[in-house]
Amino acid sequence: MRMSKLLMPTLREVPAEAEIVSHQLMLRAGMIRRLAAGIYSYLPLGLRTLKKVENIVREEMDRAGALELLMPALLPAESYQASGRWEVFGDSMFKLHDRSGRDFCLGPTHEELFTETVLNEVRSYKEYPMTLYQIQTKYRDEGRPRFGLMRGREFVMKDAYSFDLTKEGLDKSYKAMFDAYCRIFTRLGLDFTIVDADSGAMGGSGSQEFMVKSPVGEDGIAYCDACGYAANYEKAECIVSEKQFPEGDLPLEKIDTPKAHTIEELTEFLGTEPHVFAKTIIYKADDKYIAVMVRGDREINEVKLKNLVGCTDDPELAAPSVVRELTHAEVGFAGPIGLEIPVYADKEVTFMKNFVVGANETDRHYRNVNIGRDFEPDVVADLRLVEEGDVCPRCGQQIKTAQGIEVGHIFKLGTKYSDALGLKALDENGDMTSVIMGCYGIGVTRCISAAIEQNHDENGIIWPRSIAPYQVCVVPVNYKDEQQTEAAEKLYEKLLDSGLEALLDDRAERAGVKFKDCDLIGIPLRIVVGKKIGDGIVEFKERTMPEPELKSIDEAISAAVDYFKE
């Protein structure tokens, strides 16, 4: 491509609308432009990279035996009403209706449609197992669209769905996708971490996320360098860390704690450490109320709580009026003693001695509380959030934490959608059984953001070679020098003939401007044709090399070809 003809509106200034590097660089490199919050146009460079990412995903899905098809984005409401997700998605779903008043949505994800396709089109149980996928635009009216392609309201996802008749079959289909994902993210040049994720009712190794560690990631990861354990915050198992408590079995005391509603206020008032308190928080879980206890220096993990209680909706903090009614006290003084709702205690609480809890009386707490003597929790389980420095649940070393960008997610769904939509088949014993599903997503456009977050410097993008919009750029130093421009043209043609995706910077610009643009848009190789062309010598530079290497024209071409050999 001749750069004089390329629509590549690069920007020198950092656009004010972009907070993170990948978003800034994509705008500056002229890859994307914003139309509305979370909605972008892809200009030629952006589209080329997007197509490359899609193709890598496609090749590996095909290699894993998955079949590509394409569903519409504009979907009638009925399938989502049948699964209950018309309501569940709530405001995140773009809903609309046609001229005769029929309800539609813009598809946020397609479990229902794939399930129905299999229901309608698969004639015999012999056609199972089957994995179907598409690479398609999704719509979600996200509460906080931001960071460019990272969290869009319109974005490209690869979504795949597997259909099996046995649990073992599902394990196999899942493993095939797991392996394909590892190949995909490796080929995309991403340094990724696979973490255990919450799988709701499925349990076990039912869900994993592919994360790219980055401070701008919106997900928390807990990991252990010693043994390789990694899980997201919601899932990470917690081990009890024992702390020092006053010895013996001290007598229970009710104490005045005026205006001490929070742990900070209490520790200050009593002059002690947060770990000698146990917090008691009242939650609404579907239509019942429960009390949840964790040590004062810990936080409750609401996903673990939801799984334990088995409620349909996410547990919510009880309204202050309810807390007052249940505890007969202002918010901040709830405690387990004498409380008439079920008490769920994090297992760490059972290792505490002579600790402090709310007294269910405004401005009062109990001191020297001991489980067994003063109260008995109804349920004891792992209910807290992991923290940096925790003990690794696998090997006992220290847990580290990081932020991560979720680029992919694989999930053993089970029979949720097949049951909801009536997808059954004969199993090996000739019995009708619900088809067992898995679902597998990749944020195709988000991968582009993640790749740039991981690969850039102060001059611009450093594309992994597999997804660079172009591979090599030929730059004549002096566009008025005929010998240079002619040689550059010839070199450009030869690179194209060798099968490389080459750019020729034939613009009437100073060399400095051209070099800056070439770095900004992240082209992996640059070949500069300057004064030494009289001796047949050019300057060859990889994007990350501090200085170019001198090569003959033929050497430069073969070096470029070699660089892109897989």
Binding footprint of ligand ATP on the chain (CB under 6 A): 109, 140, 142, 151-152, 155, 157, 406-409, 441, 443, 445-446
Stretch that binds Mg ion, among 48-56, 77-85, 151-159, 408-416 (CB under 5 A): 408-416
What tokens does 431 get?
């019995």
Closest approach, Cβ 335 to ligand ATP, in A, equals 35
Q: Return the H-helix or E-strand segment holding 448.
A: helix 444-454
Per-residue binding letters, 161-180, with Mg ion (x by CB under 5 A)? --------------------
For ligand ATP, which is the closer residue by CB, 173 or 207?
A: 207
Q: For residue 194, what are the β-bridge partners?
A: 210
Whether a cis peptide bond, with omega within 30° of 0, leads into 377 is no
Closest approach, Cβ 81 to ligand ATP, in A, equals 20
For Mg ion, which is the closer residue by CB, 110 or 409?
A: 409
Tokens 């392996």 sit on residue: 179
Contact 399, 225 (CB under 8 A): no
How far apart CA 293 and CA 277 sit, in angstroms, is: 10
- Residue 109's binding partner out of ligand ATP, Mg ion, none, with CB under 5 to 8 Å set by partner kind: ligand ATP
- Residue 206's binding partner out of ligand ATP, Mg ion, none, with CB under 5 to 8 Å set by partner kind: none
For ligand ATP, which is the closer residue by CB, 156 or 224?
A: 156
138 touching Mg ion, by CB under 5 A: no
Contacts of 346 (CB under 8 A, 6+ apart): 238, 292, 293, 294, 295, 298, 300, 380, 381, 382, 383, 384
What tokens does 193 get?
């971490």
- Residue 434's binding partner out of ligand ATP, Mg ion, none, with CB under 5 to 8 Å set by partner kind: none
How far apart CA 1 and CA 298 sit, in angstroms, is: 58
φ, ψ of residue 197 in degrees (nearest 5): -125, 165
409 touching Mg ion, by CB under 5 A: yes
For Mg ion, which is the closer residue by CB, 218 or 501?
A: 218
For ligand ATP, which is the closer residue by CB, 358 or 441?
A: 441
What tokens does 391 get?
């003990």
- Residue 234's binding partner out of ligand ATP, Mg ion, none, with CB under 5 to 8 Å set by partner kind: none
- Residue number of the CB closest to ligand ATP reads 443
For ligand ATP, which is the closer residue by CB, 425 or 444?
A: 444
* Angle, vertex CA 118, rays to CA 445 and CA 170, nearest 5: 75
How far apart CA 471 and CA 560 sit, in angstroms, is: 9
For ligand ATP, which is the closer residue by CB, 332 or 408?
A: 408
Distance of CA 216 to the CA centre of its chain: 11
Closest approach, Cβ 526 to Mg ion, in A, equals 39
- Judged on CB neighbours under 10 Å (0-12, 13-18, 19+), 419 is middle
Closest approach, Cβ 420 to Mg ion, in A, equals 20
- Residue 142's binding partner out of Mg ion, ligand ATP, none, with CB under 5 to 8 Å set by partner kind: ligand ATP
Q: Which residues bind Mg ion (CB under 5 A)?
A: 409
